[in-house]
Structure 1
Amino acid sequence: MDELTGITVLEADGERLGPFVHRQVTAVDEAIAEAGAVLIRGAGADGVEDFQQALDGLGFEPLEYTERSTPRSEVGDGVFTSTEYPAREVIPQHCESSYAGAWPGRLAFFCATPAATGGATPIADVARVLEDIPDEVVRAVETRGLRYVRNYGSGVGLDWREAFQTDSPAEVARFCAAGGLEWEWLEDDRLRTVRRAPATVAHPRTGRRVWFNHLVLFHQSSLPQGLRGDLVALFGEGGLPNDVLFGDGSPIPDETVAAVRTAFERRAQRFGWHRHDLLVIDNMRWSHGREAFTGERRVLVSMSDLISRAALPQPVLRG
């Protein structure tokens, strides 16, 4: 395991995961409050039931996964598979649902089956990532804001029924109206949504300004070059499944995103999953991603503590 700087690692020494978490919940809560992340290693577990017992011990009230951006399967009450992208693909750093109007405050990851090779879930302190992003990049995105454009139903990416977990256009319209999303129904049963959002926010508990957005993950430059060109040629600049622009709709240069990607790479901490590892993180303090892998990797996730964008304090900007 690569060293995790400033993150508590609790060794269970073979104790069942659920009872261990119940017994150590104070230590877990203190670690989350102090550092925003804790790793529990060496516990005994059989599968989803043990993970759910641990979630009960953590006080999780699992959230539904709505306004989805990636394919997942629900394998238990509020327990999902991690993103079901092909093993060869790398998932860039992001904070869960930071493109949305509301998101989970805490995430819990449980390793049911580690990969044969690769498959780590690197994490990065998003306050420190912000410190490493060039000032001119931060000023640009804070001044101009971000515009997330998502297209559903093209045959690439998610269909709107999967993303919004309903087959009712009226339900989708109600969700969008309530959550601050602009939406437009297009021909051939397609849907386009637009959300304007800031690139940084203030953490609701600490007040610290953090980098909290989907810029790297949604930007076109994160696509393989050949695929990017093919998708733009097929659907046009405004028709990609996911994209992020400046708030006024103008493109964000690739080099701007590259500077952010470099900051994430500098701050990312990785570790190789062990069977039955449990990682709990504050979703507004730590981003996460996924390495490519081989083998039958199976990591489960649950989300809790819904945070609404409308309820956040305003960040204190640097002079």
Structure 2
Amino acid sequence: MNDLTGIGVFEAHGEGLASFTQGHARMIDEAVAENGAALVRGARAEGTEDFERALKWLGFEPLAYTERSTPRSQVGDGVFTSTEYPAREVIPQHCESSYAGAWPGRLAFFSATPALTGGATPITDVSRVLDDIPAEVVEAVERRGLRYVRHYGSGVGMDWREAFQTDDRAAVDRFCADGGLEWEWREDDCLRTVRRAPALATHPRTGRRLWFNHLVLFHQSSLAPEVREALVAVLGEDGLPNDVLFGDGEPIPDATVAAVRSAFERRQQRFDWELHDLMVIDNMRWSHGREAFTGERRVLVSMTDLITRS
């Protein structure tokens, strides 16, 4: 099923991606401002370089990807592969870096190689998700806040060098201190960080309240039951690579997260990638995820317009 409701769609009819973007940049920007997302379809592209040129016409000043939560490869100037998880895994809905102290305001995705089957990047309007979440859940997370706990270097998940893109502990110390993270160096070259953050945000342009967090993606209940059980057995309840609790440190019940997950499922929109599709989204209006897939799917991503948590 393809659902492009409310998304600005531009048909390029075989024109080069960079050329089409240059001629329609203003209309694409207006569509993103109005709808939060725009899709350019049917363009020709020779590869990463054409994606980079299109980004320049869209005013992208690509951001570095630090305080990483997923493995990616950099393939161009501020251009990365999308999350390199196994094809069988589903990535839950999330707004990019909503767990961090700063995040991109806009994302651009480029379909370099569509999957054979599956592999969509579903998106969800997080203001509508907020409307669908039970009021008692919203009240609880808004009142208590969230606490993101991350462990690096345990042999499971990311190493701190990859996450922070440095092998200098002092540079990590500075990043954590400047970015509002609590951190602790542990034995065996491991790092533990804690960030307290609100579960909701206000869009800086529209003023709308948004569901803006990594609750569904980071919560233990998003793991397959057998994986969750094995990780807790080896690492302990408080030792998983990524976890999210209430701000006071109390665990968030699985049922609470299930109610949020259901709201995302009701509001989710998905479409199948076509070759050389370019999609630009407002990262504070639309969340995104990834379906499982078969084949050699390759989707590239770039980020711009840094927003810092106030």
Shorter-chain TM-score bucket reads over 0.9
Per-residue deviation at 1:281? 0.1
Cα distance in 2, alignment partners of residues 270 and 253 from structure 1: 28
Question: Counterpart of 2:298?
Answer: 298
Cα distance in 1, alignment partners of residues 6 and 115 from structure 2: 25
Per-residue deviation at 1:4? 1.1
Given residue 249 of structure 1, which amino acid in structure 2 is its aligned partner?
Answer: G
Given residue 41 of structure 1, which amino acid in structure 2 is its aligned partner?
Answer: R
Please report the TM-score for the alignment, with normalisation by the length of structure 2.
Answer: 1.00
Question: Counterpart of 2:179?
Answer: 179
Cα distance in 2, alignment partners of residues 240 and 307 from structure 1: 28
Residue 77, structure 1, aligned to residue 91, structure 2: no
Please report the TM-score for the alignment, with normalisation by the length of structure 1.
Answer: 0.97
Question: Counterpart of 1:190?
Answer: 190
Q: Deviations over 1:236-278 (max 9, x none)?
A: 1110000000000000000000000000000000000000000
Cα distance in 2, alignment partners of residues 176 and 22 from structure 1: 39
Question: Counterpart of 2:152?
Answer: 152
2:301 aligned counterpart, secondary structure:
strand
Question: Counterpart of 2:3?
Answer: 3
Cα distance in 2, alignment partners of residues 46 and 256 from structure 1: 46
Which blocks of at least 5 consecutive residues in structure 1 are unaligned?
311-319
Question: Counterpart of 1:163?
Answer: 163
Residue 127, structure 1, aligned to residue 127, structure 2: yes
Overall identity of the aligned pairs, in %:
77
Given residue 267 of structure 1, which amino acid in structure 2 is its aligned partner?
Answer: R
1:75 aligned counterpart, secondary structure:
strand
Residue 225, structure 1, aligned to residue 198, structure 2: no
Q: Which residues of 2 match residues 100-119 of structure 1 at below 5 A?
A: 100-119=100-119
Cα distance in 2, alignment partners of residues 167 and 225 from structure 1: 34
Cα distance in 1, alignment partners of residues 42 and 142 from structure 2: 43
1:188 aligned counterpart, secondary structure:
helix
Cα distance in 2, alignment partners of residues 189 and 250 from structure 1: 27
Given residue 185 of structure 1, which amino acid in structure 2 is its aligned partner?
Answer: W
Cα distance in 1, alignment partners of residues 33 and 288 from structure 2: 18
Given residue 30 of structure 2, which amino acid in structure 1 is its aligned partner?
Answer: E
Cα distance in 2, alignment partners of residues 237 and 141 from structure 1: 21
Q: Deviations over 1:81-105 (max 9, x none)?
A: 0000000000000000000000000
Q: Deviations over 1:160-210 (max 9, x none)?
A: 000000001100000000000000001000000000000001000111000
Given residue 304 of structure 1, which amino acid in structure 2 is its aligned partner?
Answer: T
Per-residue deviation at 1:3? 2.3
Per-residue deviation at 1:306? 0.1
Question: Counterpart of 1:23?
Answer: 23
Which blocks of at least 5 consecutive residues in structure 2 are unaligned?
none
Cα distance in 2, alignment partners of residues 13 and 133 from structure 1: 40
1:128 aligned counterpart, secondary structure:
helix
2:167 aligned counterpart, secondary structure:
coil
| Structure 1: 4+ residue segments shifted above 2 A | none
Question: Counterpart of 2:44?
Answer: 44
Aligned pair count reads 310
Per-residue deviation at 1:35? 0.6
Given residue 243 of structure 2, which amino acid in structure 1 is its aligned partner?
Answer: D
Q: Deviations over 1:127-164 (max 9, x none)?
A: 00000000000000000000000000001100000000
